[in-house]
Amino acid sequence: MDWKSKENKRLIQAILALKTDDEARRFLRDLMTKKEIEEFAKRLKAAEMLTEKMPYSVIENETGLSSTTIARVAKWLNGKEGGYRAIISKLHHHNSIQSRRGLS
């Protein structure tokens, strides 16, 4: 993957420019199909479940993902890039702040 291509850099800039849930929802809906959004949401859920050491069979039943896709998510979760780990950490931190504020 060429992250330095003009198009990929622009996509990253667009994502970083999003400020609200509504902006993110509208952008993602324009950018991707409903199926793609659902697939990516399931992959994130699988990564979170893998972080909690849940068995593949439970993840398959809850997300509908194949064991092959779950294995791929596990590979990326434990890989050097750390994208899943970073976002899961941020989401858990954000959720714990909201819980302390009574916002969840």
Do 17 and 47 reside in the same domain of the chain? no
> What's the pTM?
0.83
Same domain for 95 and 65? yes
Residue 7 backbone class (left: φ over 0; alpha: ψ -120 to 50; beta: rest)? alpha
Same domain, 23 and 52: no
Residue pLDDT tens, the chain, 104 long: 898 999 999 999 999 999 999 999 999 999 999 999 999 999 999 999 999 999 999 999 999 999 999 999 999 999 998 999 999 999 987 666 555 556 55
Task: Examine the domain organization and report whether 27 and 48 are in the same domain.
Answer: no
Per-residue model confidence (pLDDT) at position 92? 86
Instruction: At 84, list the tokens.
Output: 């899943």
Residue from 67, 45, 64 nearest 56 by CA: 67
pLDDT at 100: 55
Domain count, the chain: 2
Nearest alpha-carbon partner for 43 in 62, 26, 63? 63
**Does 26 share its domain with 44?**
no
State the residue range of the domain holding 6.
Answer: 1-31
Residues 45 and 7 both lie in one domain? no
**56 in the same domain as 38:** yes
* pLDDT at residue number 99: 59
Residue 43: the pLDDT is: 98
